Amino acid sequence: MSQPTARLVAALKGKTLSFVTAESCTGGQLAALLAADVRLGPHLERGFVVYSTEAKHEVLGVDPADAERRNAVNSEVAEAMAVGALAKSRADIAIGITGFCGPREADEEVGLVHLACVPRGGTPVLQECHFGDIGRQRVLDHAVAGALTLLIHAVSAPASHSMPDATVG
C-alpha cells in the first residue's frame, strides 16, 4: 500500500464518509486505486470518467465555454466536474481531475493538472499542479497522489469541511 493510501485509511478510521471521483486525464485510476483496497473500497460511492469535453458537459454539466477553454484543463472545469459528480451521487466528498499528461500537442503544458476537492456543503479546494514533462505515467501517478492528498485533508478537516489551500509545483 502506498503512503498516501495508508494515510487516507488512517484518516478514515471510524468514519463513514464516501467519495465520488470525476476523472479526465487519469481515466479512472483514482477510482480503481480506491476500489482495489479492501479498506478504501467501501468508501467509494461511484466514479465518473469523462475524458472528452462533450462527456464533461453531458455527464457532469460542465459549462461548454469552460470546457473549450484550454482544452478543458483549467480550475473551473476541475471544480465543475467535482460539483457535477457530487450532484449525481450520494457521496460526501467529490474529487475532480483534469490535465495534460503528454505527449505535447499544440501549446499544451505537459504535466499541468488541475484538481478540485468538494465536500458536500463545504468549500471547494482547488489545486494547480505543474509536474513537468516527466512522462505520461508519472504525471498520472502524481495526479492520483495529489488527489489522494486532497482527500486526506478533506477527511481530516473538522465537521465544517474547511480545508487548507494546497499548491504543488
pLDDT per residue as tens digits for the range 75-101: 999 999 999 999 999 999 999 999 999
Three cell numbers, residue 65? 465555454
If one counts every other C-beta atom within 10 angstroms of the C-beta of residue 116, the result is: 26
**15 burial type by CB count under 10 A (0-12 exposed, 13-18 middle, 19+ buried):** exposed
Q: End-to-end alpha-carbon separation of the chain, Å?
A: 25
Nine cell digits for residue 58: 453531458
State the pLDDT at residue 157: 86
Checking if the pLDDT of 168 tops 60, the result is: no
pLDDT tens digits, residue range 138-159? 999 999 999 999 999 999 987 5
Q: What pLDDT is attached to residue 1?
A: 56
Q: How far apart are CA 34 and CA 91, in angstroms?
A: 14
pLDDT at 68: 85
Confidence of residue 169 (pLDDT cuts 50, 70, 90): very low
pTM exceeds 0.85 for this model: yes
How high is the pLDDT of residue 162?
42
The identity of residue 144, as a single letter, is V
Q: How does 144-169 read in b/e, with b if 16+ C-beta sit within 10 Å? A: bbbbbbbbbbbbebeeebebeebeee
Answer whether residue 163 shows pLDDT above 50: no
User: 30-71 pLDDT, tens per residue?
Assistant: 999 999 999 999 999 999 999 999 999 999 999 999 888 878
Whether 167 has a pLDDT exceeding 60, the answer reads no
